[in-house]
Amino acid sequence: MKSRTLSAKLWITACALMGLSFAACDSASPSRTVEHAPSPSPPAAENAPTYSLAPFPAQSGSADRETAQDESLAGFHDFGDANFERLIRKMRLLQSGSAPAGTVVRITQFGDSHTASDTITSGLRQLLQARYGDAGIGWIAPMKVPGQNHQRVKYTSNGWELSSSRQAKDVFRQKIFPMGGYIATPVKAGAQITVLARDENSDMWQARFAIKHWRAPLLVKDANQRQIPLKPPGPAGIWREVSVKTPLRLPFTISASTPDAAELGGIWLEKNKASGVVVSAIGTNGITLKNWEYWSGPYQWTDQLTASRSDMVIIAFGTNEAIRPDLDIADMKNVLRESINTVRRALPESVIVLVGAPDSLQAKEGAWACEERLFPMLREVKRAQLAIAKEERTLFWDWQAAMGGPCAIDAWLAEGLAKNDLIHLTMEGYRKSAEIFYHDLMALIRKKAQ
């Protein structure tokens, strides 16, 4: 093991000295590993229907006193976030119509597959933008991620290769990914990625691109035929954000003149000079919060987080942690605690929301009691999330309680709101969750005004 780690470290150094990109270095890595992609996420959303906001009742006999404790957490809870009042003032200013032009409330959600499909976040985006104004799309991946979706954009690509931090398993692959955990690398001359709106769109967009420069600038060309080179300042081999001063019109195409010209990370899109709300979904199928360890260096990705200017950061993990019977709860708490501190260092004025893991069950055939189908660590994960929310004085939203408590996902399945795996929700289930989240948040804001 020591020799493999040493070899990986030497390989990193050699790659840096040769000026190689991630894809070029990775393809020759002596320690390269590959992990199969998870099941696809739900397809793109249509207009969301309206649901009753009453959560489903927990299944009878499912969880005695512990169930009662879980259900008592329904709704939003403020454990003393010092920035919440500031956010409320900004939102009220937007709603009053008296906010200066270009005032934007930016909400960024980090999570696993529930976030990666942009379904719960797109539902929240629609509700908040209907109330406070539509300031745009927010963060998107650099290109199409297999098995994942964004509800406002789609992609075509030719000649680009995608890498994900989800496969970061050894020293070689650590500390090289930008915020979001995706790298798009051109593998042939003339490689192109095109970003298109899912709906008819004539808006002009302020765009920022995370780029690691190697050999030649990338080029962006928009629907108005404007062509702008994307060359980050500073030395090659470091992730930088490039802001395009000229607003772009969708669709736009990013092209590379040579293989390994540069690497592309996430893209930020906000409407030019618009006021309102932006909700970004930064998620990956199958990951845990610990995956943040594989993002670039101690400073680079957090510099990108600072540049996001997020007013609220939602940390929505727990499902993949809960399905692991060998989960180290103490380690999970430490990771969650450090993640909150990372956000606070990068965004000292941002509100932080911890989302408790949603309800899920093991899909077993036959007549099994509810307790026998619970994932062994789900309650421990939720207790850890709640304990850290109290300790770190964040906001907290208990997704499982909003669904109706332990084992409520059976009722969601019967209503067509959950999938047969009893872990993921359908498009309608995520939209219902978004509505409950939104109304719980509005209720907490009203309570603060009293």
Same domain? 438 vs 414 = yes
Higher-pLDDT residue of 220, 170: 220
374 in the same domain as 287: yes
Please tell me the predicted confidence (pLDDT) of residue 54.
57
Question: pLDDT digits over 416-447, tens only?
Answer: 999 999 999 999 999 999 999 999 999 999 99
Higher-pLDDT residue of 200, 25: 200
Pick from 273, 294, 321: which residue ends a domain? 273
> What is the spatial distance between Cα 346 and Cα 169, in angstroms, rounded to a whole number?
26
User: Domain residues for 316?
Assistant: 36-135+275-450
What does pLDDT average to over the chain?
85
CA distance 251 to 139: 16
Among 319, 313, 312, smallest CA distance to 361 is for 319
CA distance 122 to 278: 10
Cβ-contact 42, 427 below 8 angstroms = yes
61-119 pLDDT, tens digit per residue, is: 444 344 444 445 678 999 999 999 999 999 999 999 999 999 999 999 999 999 999 99
Is the domain of 192 the same as that of 256? yes
The residue among 264, 279, 269, 234 whose CA lies nearest residue 248 is 269
Kindly report, residue by residue over 57-69, the tens digit of the pLDDT: 544 444 434 444 4
128 confidence band (pLDDT: 50, 70, 90): very high
Q: By the 8 A CB rule, do 277 and 441 touch? A: no
Residues 87 and 201 in one domain: no
In angstroms, the CA 87 to CA 445 distance is 10
Q: Are residues 28 and 40 in the same domain?
A: no
Instruction: Tell which of 273, 299, 314 closes a domain.
Output: 273
Question: What pLDDT is stored for residue 38 in this prediction?
Answer: 36
- Asked if 257 and 312 sit in the same domain, the reply is no
Token representation of residue 275: 């006021």
- What CA–CA distance (Å, rounded) separates 8 from 289? 24
CATH of the domain at 227: 2.60.120.1360
Q: For residue 187, is pLDDT > 80?
A: yes
- pLDDT tens track for 308-362: 999 999 999 999 999 998 999 999 999 999 999 999 999 999 999 999 999 999 9
Residue 332 shares a structural domain with residue 419 = yes
Kindly list the distances between the CA atom of residue 328 and the CA atoms of 1, 94, 319, 335, 406, in Å, as whole numbers in the listed order. 23, 43, 14, 11, 22
Q: 407: Cβ–Cβ under 8 A, 6 or more apart, which residues?
A: 58, 59, 62, 63, 359, 361, 370, 373, 374
Same domain, 150 and 294: no
Q: What percent of the chain has pLDDT over 90?
A: 69
CATH number of the domain to which 445 belongs: 3.40.50.1110
What pLDDT digit, counting tens, does each position of 2-37 carry? 333 334 334 433 443 334 444 444 444 443 333 333
Domain end call among 222, 245, 273: 273
Cβ-proximal residues to 88 (8 Å cutoff; 6+ apart), any chain:
445, 448, 449
Same-domain status, 209 and 151 = yes
Q: Do residues 430 and 333 share a domain?
A: yes
Residue type, 369: A
Is the pLDDT at 388 greater than 50, yes or no? yes
* Cis peptide leading into residue 251 (ω within 30°): yes
pLDDT tens across 210-240, in order? Answer: 998 778 899 999 999 999 999 877 777 788 8
Q: Are 227 and 289 part of one and the same domain?
A: no
- The pLDDT > 70 percentage for the chain reads 81
> Which tokens hold the place of 72?
């008592």
Q: Identify the band that residue 190 occupies on the pLDDT scale cut at 50, 70 and 90.
A: very high
Which residues are paired to 139 by β-bridges? 268
3-state secondary structure the chain: CHHHHHHHHHHHHHHHHHCCCHHHHHHCCCCCCCCCCCCCCCCCCCCCCCCCCCCCCCCCCCCHHHHHHHHCCCCEEECCCCCHHHHHHHHHHHHHCCCCCCCEEEEEEEECHHHHCCHHHHHHHHHHHHHHCECEEEEECCCCCCCCCCCCEEEEEECEEEEEHHHCCCHHHCCCECCCCEEEEECCCCEEEEEEECCCCCCEEEEEEEEEECCCCEEEECCCCCEEEECCCCCCCCEEEEEEEEEEECCEEEEECCCCCEEEEEEEEEECCCCEEEEEEEECCCCCHHHHHHECCCCHHHHHHHHHCCCEEEEECCHHHHCCCCCCHHHHHHHHHHHHHHHHHHCCCCEEEEEECCCCECCCCCCCCHHHHECCCHHHHHHHHHHHHHHHCCEEEEHHHHHCCCCCHHHHHHCCCECCCCCCECHHHHHHHHHHHHHHHHHHHHHHHC
How many domains, in total, are found in the chain?
A: 2
Residues 204 and 336 in one domain: no
pTM: 0.86
